[in-house]
Structure 1
Amino acid sequence: MIDTRTAPYAIFALRLALGALFLAHAGLKIFVFTPAGTAQFFASLGLPGGLAYVTILWELLGAAALILGILPRLAALALVPVMLGTIFTVHGPAGFWFTNPNGGWEYPAFWTLSLVVLAGLGNGAFALKPTLGRAGAVSYAG
């Protein structure tokens, strides 16, 4: 049974947590590794270096959308490819455990699943622009 009194606030907490994580990871790429350094790292993986700038922007926009509640269900789904990219290019080859060198895929996989769960649950409380459901109705817990 879903407690419809508390579910919107739980979804809101999940939305904030996921948004904060993306904000932190974008900040890491900007302030610690630098965008140019991140582009070099992407190139070392055989990816186009310019994809690093797209990834940073996508993480920032996705974080803002999740935190503010701007089409949060769609924002969550739009961030899934970023996480799958990290699994297949960096963390997947390192094995399962995130404590392995280069980090394993357990944490990014959990993060990906959390985004999918958020998209399935609804907008949560305090969404500024909820994602619409069928026939224009606002989604559950939105």
Structure 2
Amino acid sequence: MENRYEASTLILRIVLGISFFIHGLSKFQGGIENTVGWFSSIGLPGFLAYGVALIEVVGGIALVLGLFTRIVAIIFVLLMVGAVIKVKLAAGFLGNGQMAGYELDLAFLAMAVSIAITGSKAYALDLFIGKGQKPEKANEVL
């Protein structure tokens, strides 16, 4: 991989994908009903917890594989904007002692925005679907 921009985007894509996957998986492993209850307690419909957890798990895997990269990144941008505004903003940037702040959410948001803007073609399944691009085009800059 000769293009340093593509290499850096690959790193962002994999780290963000793994991070979302683990966050979604923990919602299921910790008992999704706990997350449903928490969503209800902050004024969101409880059933949204299933959707968020599923998006995090499936979207995380998709990002790691480079599948529907920009679409998944945009969905993650929307999730992070919602999380910051609805949940974390009141706690402040570093948190309030009872809840974590929005610093991690902001970092995830920035990573997702970057991926949504630039895409990520290196080692991505996106190259084999859609426009039928050849894998050797993976190192070109947009």
* Fold in common (TM above 0.5): yes
Corresponding residue for 2:15?
17
Let me know the Cα RMSD of the aligned residues. 2.7
- Residue 131 of structure 1 and its aligned partner are, at CA, apart by 9.9
Task: Say whether 1:27 aligns with 2:30.
Answer: no
The 2-side partners of 1:43 and 1:54 are apart by: 14
The 2-side partners of 1:130 and 1:64 are apart by: 16
Task: Say whether 1:75 aligns with 2:77.
Answer: no
Corresponding residue for 1:104?
101
| 2:11 partner letter | A
Task: Say whether 1:8 aligns with 2:17.
Answer: no
The 2-side partners of 1:98 and 1:25 are apart by: 19
| 2:29 partner letter | F
Q: Number of matched residues?
A: 138
Q: Which runs of 5 or more structure 1 residues have no equivalent in the other structure?
A: none
Corresponding residue for 1:50?
47
CA contact (8 A) 1:74 1:131 kept: no
**Deviation sequence 1:62-87 (CA, Å, 0-9, x none):** 11110110121221011111111211
| 1:123 partner letter | S
| 1:12 partner letter | L
- Structure 2 CA distance for partners of 1:127 and 1:92, relative to 1, 3 Å: same
The 2-side partners of 1:82 and 1:131 are apart by: 27
| 2:53 partner letter | I
Corresponding residue for 1:119?
116
| 1:125 partner letter | A
Greater mean alpha carbon deviation, residues 92-101 or residues 38-47 = 92-101
SS in 2 for 1:129: helix
CA contact (8 A) 1:71 1:130 kept: no
Overall identity of the aligned pairs, in %: 31
**Deviation sequence 1:22-59 (CA, Å, 0-9, x none):** 01101111112x11110000000011000000111111
Larger relative contact order (Cα-Cα within 8 Å, sequence gap ≥ 6): 2
**Deviation sequence 1:71-108 (CA, Å, 0-9, x none):** 21221011111111211122111011147421111221
| 2:86 partner letter | T
The 1-side partners of 2:128 and 2:41 are apart by: 38
- Normalising by structure 2, we get a TM-score of 0.84
